[in-house]
Amino acid sequence: MFKVYRTAEFEKLMNKLLTKEEQKRVENIEEEISEKGFTGDTLGFKFLREKRISGKRVYFLVYEDLKSALMVSISDKKAQQETIDKIKVYLPEFRRLMEEIIKST
């Protein structure tokens, strides 16, 4: 079992870009991640993944050693590469955030 967390940025994008039905799909994706860990398409690294929802992409990081995942961003197809590049720049910060979250729970 994996614990799934969301960044504040992810929450903001989810409320801004996704319908209530699409938000429900995100919850289903989070359940799938919780059960399987590695799901969705890989994006250059085994731990960087995406799932598609109605033409949009939901990006998340799976930390196998921490038995957790972090939902980090959402984009449309047009902004996909830009979003992936931005996530890659912030990988060390996401890792630190995940470690802090786990320590505090």
Structure tokens at 16: 């801004």
pTM for the whole structure:
0.95
Topology classification of domain 3-104: YaeB-like fold (3.30.2310)
Select from 51, 60, 2 the least CA-distant residue to 22. Answer: 51
Domain boundaries, the chain: 3-104
Q: Nearest to residue 39, comparing CAs of 76, 2, 86?
A: 2
- Give pLDDT tens digits for 29-87: 999 999 999 999 999 999 999 999 999 999 999 999 999 999 999 999 999 999 999 99
